[in-house]
Structure 1
Amino acid sequence: MEPNPADLNASAMSFINAFDMSSSSAPIRLSHSLAILLLYKHSCFLVRRNQWIHLLHAHRNSMADEPLRVMGLSGSIGRQSKNGMLVDLALKKAEALGAEIHFWDLQEKPLPLVGEDGCWSNPIVKEFQEMASSCDAFLVSSPEYHGTMSGVMKNTFDWVYEQHVGGKVFGLMSTLGGISNSNTLNHMRIMLRWLHGNPVSQQLALGHVKEAFDEDGNLSDSSMDERLQSLVVSVLTTATMYRNS
Structure 2
Amino acid sequence: MKITMIAGSNREEATSTYLLQYIGRQLEARHQCSVTLIQLRELPLPFFSPNAYESDANARYLVQQVAEADGLILASPEYHGSVSGMLKNALDYMNGSHVSGKPVLSVSSAGGPVGVSSLLNLQTIVRNLHGVNCPEWISIGYGSHSFDSNGQPTDGGVRERVEQAVGAFVELTRLLTAGAAAAAYGRNA
> Normalized against structure 1, the TM-score is what?
0.68
Instruction: Summarize the alignment of residues 95-174 of structure 1 with structure 2, pairs less than 5 Å apart.
Output: 95-96=28-29, 97-115=31-49, 118=52, 120-174=54-108
Question: Amino acid of the residue matched to residue 230 of structure 1?
Answer: Q
Identity %: 24
Deviations 1:72-107, CA, capped at 9 Å, x for gaps? 111103674221111111111111111000001223
Deviations 1:114-134, CA, capped at 9 Å, x for gaps? 139855411111111111110
Question: Which residue pairs with 2:183 in the alignment?
Answer: none
Counterpart-to-counterpart distance in 2, 1:130 and 1:196: 17
Q: Secondary structure at the match of 2:75?
A: strand
Q: Secondary structure at the match of 2:107?
A: strand
Q: Secondary structure at the match of 1:107?
A: helix
**Does residue 208 of structure 1 match 2:148?**
no
Question: Which residue pairs with 1:93 in the alignment?
Answer: 26
Between the two proteins, the alignment pairs up a number of residues equal to 178
Structure 1 gap ranges (5+):
1-67
Question: Which residue pairs with 1:186 in the alignment?
Answer: 120
Deviations 1:180-222, CA, capped at 9 Å, x for gaps? 1411111111111110011111111100178432233211111
Q: Secondary structure at the match of 1:76?
A: coil
Please report the RMSD computed on the Cα atoms of aligned residues, expressed in angstroms. Answer: 1.9
Instruction: Summarize the alignment of residues 6-155 of structure 1 with structure 2, pairs less than 5 Å apart.
Output: 68-77=1-10, 80-96=13-29, 97-115=31-49, 118=52, 120-155=54-89
Structure 2 gap ranges (5+):
180-189
Counterpart-to-counterpart distance in 2, 1:156 and 1:100: 22
Q: State the structure with more CA Rg.
A: 1
Q: Is the 8 A contact 2:40 2:86 kept in 1?
A: no
Q: Which structure carries more helix by proportion?
A: 2
Question: Amino acid of the residue matched to residue 232 of structure 1?
Answer: V
Deviations 1:138-165, CA, capped at 9 Å, x for gaps? 1111111111111011111111111111
Counterpart-to-counterpart distance in 2, 1:240 and 1:125: 28
Q: 1:209 to 1:95 in 2, by over 3 A?
A: farther
Counterpart-to-counterpart distance in 2, 1:89 and 1:193: 26
Q: Is the 8 A contact 1:178 1:209 kept in 2?
A: no
Q: Is the 8 A contact 1:177 1:209 kept in 2?
A: no
Q: Is the 8 A contact 2:105 2:169 kept in 1?
A: yes
Q: 1:120 to 1:210 in 2, by over 3 A?
A: farther
